[in-house]
Chains A and B, each alone.
Chain A
C-alpha cells in the first residue's frame, strides 16, 4: 500500500483558516532597516505562516494577513526593536474553528 501525504504550501494551508482582515491596519510592522538582524532574517523561515519575506534589496518585509497571532516574531524581534507587535483590533485577525 502506498500512501502519499503531499507537501502542502503554507499559503494553501492558511487558505483553510478563517480570517477577518482589518484592511489598512496591519497589527505587526517591520521597522525600516538596511540589513536585517539575525533574528529578523530567521523569521523568513521560522514564522509558521510565512508572513516574513526578503525583498530584492535584502530587507525583510511582512504581509500580516495570514498571521496566526502566535507571537513567535514578537519573542524574537520586539526587544531588539526590529518590529512593532500588537494584537489586531478586537474581533479581527485569525478565527480558529477548532483551535
Chain B
C-alpha cells in the first residue's frame, strides 16, 4: 500500500480523532491508524467530558453523541479510614440547555467520534499498530511503518496521537519515556446498577449526574486520587497513584481499589452492583515541566503523548481534543500557504497552543506535581486524618468546653507536622497553586 497522504494520524483516541476530523473536514487527505479492534477498545477514562472543547470541533455533537449524564453536583471528599469530610457543590444552573460537562463511556464515545472522522472523509484503519516512524536522509519524518504486510505509508506530516504509553515517539528519540514519578497508574471498575437506584443514591433525577473525587488515606500515603462517576446505568469507580509510589510501597492496585470499595462512605453507594469490567491505564502527571518538544520536521505530538494533561483538575480529554484540533489547524495553515511541513513551519502549532488554555493552565500549576510527589504522606495521610479528627472533635457534643476542643485540634496538627512544617507546606501549596 504505497500511497501518499497529506497527514497520517497515529491513534484514534481523543486527540487523534480531533486532529483527523479537523484535517479531513478541511479537505486534506488523511489516514488514521488505530491498533484496537475498534476505536476506544484500548482506551480508559473516568470519564468526564467537557462540552466546550468538543463544541469547537463538532458544534452539534449533542444531537447524536453517546452521553451518559450531565453533571449538576460535584463532591470532594477527604477521607480517613472510617470517615469523610466533604465539600459538595450543586447548582441547578447546570441544568442548562447546553450542559457544560457530561459523563461518557470511552469505548462508545470513541466509536461515535471515529464515525464522524470517517464521515468527514478520512481513511481509518483499525487493527493496525504503527511500529516505527520512517524518515528520509535528512531525518525528516515522511511516513509510518505498520504491522500489516508491506505496511509502509507515507505522508507530508505525521500526527503522533498515540497516548501516554506511545512507542513511536520514544523509540524515534522525539521524546523521553515518561518517568515513574510523572505518571500515575489508575485502575477502574464498571459497576452496573438500575438507573433509578443511581438516581436515588446520589439524589439526582433523569439525566442529571453527580461525581465524587476522593483523596486521603484511601491511597495509603501515596500521591493519589479516587473517583466515582455516575453514568446512566453504571458507576465508574477507580483510583490512581503515582507509579513511583506504587513501586516504592509495593501496594497492589487491585487491592487498593477493593479497599476503597469497602470504605464505609463508598460501600453503600455501590452495594448490589454488578461489575462488568476491570481496566487499568496510565495518566500523565508531570505537567508543564514534562512537556516534550512538540514539533519537528514532518511531525507533531498531541494529547497524552505530549503529557498535555492537567492532573490537578483531572482534565485530559479536553486538552487532548484541543491540542489535536490546534495541531490540525496549524497544519492546514502551513499547507494553505504551500509551505513544506518543516520544523520551522510547524512551530506554528506551538505558538497557537501557547496561546490556548492548554499551556496556560499547565503553566499555572507547574510546581504542583513535584510538591505533591515529595510530600505525599502529609497531603494524603496526615492532613486527611487531622481533618477528620478536627471535624469529629467539632461535632461530638460531650461536655468538653469549646475552647479546649479548639486547642486539641491545633495541638494535633502541630504534633503531626510541626508548626514549621505546616507553614512551609501551606506556603508551598499556595505558591504552586498561584
Measured CB to CB, the residues of A under 8 A from B are 1, 3, 5, 7-8, 10, 13-14, 16-17, 20, 38-39, 42, 45-46, 48-50, 68-72, 74-76, 78-79, 86-91, 93-99
Contacts and interface: CB of A to CB of B under 8 A. Distances in A.
Between A7, A38, A72, A93, the greatest number of chain B beta carbons within 10 A of the residue's beta carbon is seen for: A72
B282 A98 contact: no
A48 B253 contact: yes
26 contacts: A3-B271, A5-B258, A13-B254, A17-B279, A42-B250, A45-B250, A45-B252, A46-B250, A48-B254, A48-B280, A50-B254, A68-B278, A72-B185, A72-B280, A74-B165, A75-B177, A89-B129, A90-B126, A90-B129, A96-B41, A96-B43, A96-B277, A97-B107, A97-B276, A99-B44, A99-B105
A49 B280 contact: yes
What 5 A-B pairs have minimum CB-CB distances, sorted nearest first?
A71-B165, A91-B127, A99-B106, A13-B278, A48-B280
A81 to B, nearest CB: 13
Interface of B is mostly: mixed
Contacts of B129: 87-90
A22 B88 CA distance: 47
B26 to A, nearest CB: 28
Nearest to B261: A5
Given A48-B254, A89-B147, A99-B43, A76 B243 contact: yes
B72 interface: no
Nearest to B274: A16
B163 to A, nearest CB: 9
A45 B276 CA distance: 23
Contacts of B190: 98
B178 to A, nearest CB: 6
Contact of B277 (A17, A75, A79): A17
Contacts of B267: 3, 5
Main DSSP-derived SS at the A contact region:
loop
Given A17-B277, A46-B247, A87 B105 contact: no
A14 B190 CA distance: 13
A24 B273 CA distance: 37
Interface string B248-279: 00111111001001100001101110011111
B127 to A, nearest CB: 3
B380 interface: no
A90 B148 contact: yes
Nearest to B110: A99
A53 to B, nearest CB: 13
Contacts of B250: 42, 45-46
B112 to A, nearest CB: 13
B277 A98 contact: yes
Contacts of A96: 40-44, 106-107, 277, 279
Interface in B320-373: none
Nearest to B44: A99
Contact of A86 (B167, B261, B262): B167
B37 A70 contact: no
Given A13-B189, A96-B107, 10 more contacts: A13-B254, A13-B275, A20-B37, A46-B251, A70-B282, A88-B35, A90-B147, A96-B43, A98-B105, A99-B110
